[in-house]
């Protein structure tokens, strides 16, 4: 396990975090949950039929000691969840609707987080991103002052750690969105012991080209500085001007960032998604994420192609976000 996750594990251990896994029958989830419980890093909550999960665990020869199992079809405090859901949806769901909706494992798990019976949620091993994120947006919602959630990747190679955003959620962010993403990404960086130095990326450096696309980034920089004046942030930058000191000296000699940025805010999902995959495939970086940010409580989405190690790591991240 890389130093990145050793740091997270040390942060989380002993903090009594509970993370809910709606896909309790998935063998990758079961194996990772068993490992987390055995190491006493956090308390996993598996969602599903108790007998089915016990049988599956037996088949896989994994221990369920230290794991809690909740069945939406036989949950003692369901009335409380139903009432909380109806109140939260403010007329958009009746009690009858709520009882039906909360049979869905992701909605059920999200309500456990909302009612503070769990500290965060990890799903997506067998569900789409929409299935994971939709309940979170409807129930947990974004933090005050944040309009939208966003998705970041922590790019890791040896001792190198960088934050790339938004690579997962917002297709065409406007200036206010980009400012929010920059501020939230800086907070995420700090969680990983990265002292944030934020670069707002574009195809232009400091006015070398002008277009609506570059002006959007310039405006985002102004908004971010207004909202977080303590943040080390600058732009607009081409990537080389943000990352290579010799290029920064030529293209942006007066910038507080001199080729030493470690948080990179891409102007669109298109750019961010392509950028992180290039770093991953050509640069041999490990791409950890996507990590969802801006929510009132942490909810994170696995890839359906994930493995046990991915589940374990994302659970650590989710627990750390809840601190």
- Is residue 1's pLDDT more than 60? no
Q: Tens digits of per-residue pLDDT, 173-184? A: 999 999 999 999
Q: Tell me: do 185 and 235 sit in the same domain.
A: yes
| CATH number of the domain bearing residue 268 | 3.40.50.10750
pLDDT greater at residue 146 or residue 67: 67
Instruction: Give the mean model confidence (pLDDT) for residues 104-108.
Output: 96
Rounded mean pLDDT, 215-228: 97
Is residue 6's pLDDT more than 90? no
* Same-domain status, 158 and 57: no
Q: Do 205 and 227 share a structural domain?
A: yes
* 106/131 same-domain check: yes
Q: What is the CATH number of the domain that holds 102?
A: 3.40.50.10950
Both 277 and 313 in one domain: the answer is no
pLDDT value at residue 247: 97
φ and ψ of 45, to 5 deg: -115, 115
CA dihedral (266, 260, 287, 310) positive or negative: negative
Q: What is the mean pLDDT of the chain?
A: 93
Indicate the pTM of the whole model. 0.85
Q: Is residue 301 classed as helix, strand or coil in its secondary structure?
A: strand
Same domain? 131 vs 163: no
Residue 50 confidence class, pLDDT cut points 50, 70, 90: very high
Same domain, 130 and 39: yes
DSSP code per residue over 114-176? HTTSSSEEEE-SSS-HHHHHHHIIIII-BPTT--S-EEEEEEEETTEEEEEESSSS-SS--HH
Residue 291 located in a structural domain: no
59 and 16 in a common domain? yes
Mean per-residue pLDDT, 120-139? 91
Residue 193 confidence (pLDDT): 86
For the beta carbon of residue 274, count every other beta carbon within 10 angstroms: 13
Domain check: are 180 and 237 in the same one?
yes
Tell me, rounded to whole angstroms, the distance of Cα 179 from its chain centroid.
17
Q: What percent of the chain has pLDDT over 70?
A: 99
Of 276, 280, 104, 260, nearest in space to 197 by CA:
260
Identify the pLDDT of residue 2.
65
Q: Is the pLDDT of residue 267 over 60?
A: yes
* Section 294-312 average pLDDT: 90
Residue 251 has pLDDT above 80, yes or no: yes
Q: How many domains does the chain have?
A: 2
Instruction: Give the whole-number percent of the chain exceeding pLDDT 90.
Output: 82
- Do residues 121 and 10 both lie within one domain? yes
pLDDT at 306: 85
Order of strands across the sheet that contains 43-47: 68-70, 43-47, 18-21, 120-123, 299-301
258 domain residue, yes or no: yes
- Averaged pLDDT, 16-30: 96
Confidence of residue 113 (pLDDT cuts 50, 70, 90): very high
Q: Enumerate the β-bridge partners of residue 292.
A: 151
Looking at the structure, do residues 164 and 267 belong to the same domain, yes or no?
Answer: yes
Residue appearing with tokens 């997506």: 124
Containing structural domain, residue 198: 150-286
Q: Is the pLDDT of residue 4 over 80?
A: no
| pLDDT tens per residue across span 71-91 | 999 999 999 999 999 999 988
Say what the pLDDT of residue 278 is: 97
pLDDT for the residue 212 = 94
Do residues 70 and 173 share a domain? no
């Amino acid at each position: 396990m890389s130093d990145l996750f050793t740091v997270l594990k040390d942060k989380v251990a002993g903090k009594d975090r509970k993370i809910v896994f709606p896909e309790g029958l998935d063998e990758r989830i079961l194996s990772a949950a068993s490992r987390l419980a055995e190491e006493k890093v956090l308390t996993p909550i598996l969602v599903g039929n108790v007998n089915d999960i016990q049988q599956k665990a037996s088949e896989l020869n994994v221990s369920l000691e230290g794991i809690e199992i909740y069945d939406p079809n036989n949950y003692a405090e369901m009335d409380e969840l139903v009432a909380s859901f109806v109140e939260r949806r403010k007329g958009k769901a009746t009690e009858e609707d709520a009882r039906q909706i909360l049979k869905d494992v992701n909605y059920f798990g999200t309500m456990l987080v909302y009612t503070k019976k769990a500290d965060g949620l990890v799903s997506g091993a067998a569900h789409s991103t929409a299935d994971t994120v939709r309940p979170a947006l409807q129930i947990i919602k974004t933090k005050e002052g944040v309009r939208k959630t966003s998705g970041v990747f922590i790019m890791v190679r040896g001792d190198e750690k960088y934050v790339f955003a938004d690579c997962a959620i917002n297709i065409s962010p406007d200036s206010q969105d980009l400012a929010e993403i920059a501020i939230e990404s800086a907070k995420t960086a700090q969680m990983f012991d990265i002292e944030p130095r934020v670069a707002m990326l574009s195809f232009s450096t400091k006015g070398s080209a002008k277009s609506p696309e570059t002006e959007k980034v310039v405006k985002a920089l102004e908004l971010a500085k207004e909202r977080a004046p303590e943040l080390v942030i600058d732009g607009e930058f081409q990537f080389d001007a943000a990352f290579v000191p010799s290029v920064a000296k030529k293209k942006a000699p007066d910038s507080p960032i001199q080729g030493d940025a470690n948080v990179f805010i891409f102007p669109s999902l298109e750019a961010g998604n392509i950028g992180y995959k290039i770093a991953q495939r050509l640069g041999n970086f490990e791409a950890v994420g996507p990590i969802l940010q801006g929510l009132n409580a942490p909810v994170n989405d696995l890839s359906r192609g994930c493995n046990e190690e991915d589940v374990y790591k994302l659970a650590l991240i989710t627990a750390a976000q809840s601190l």
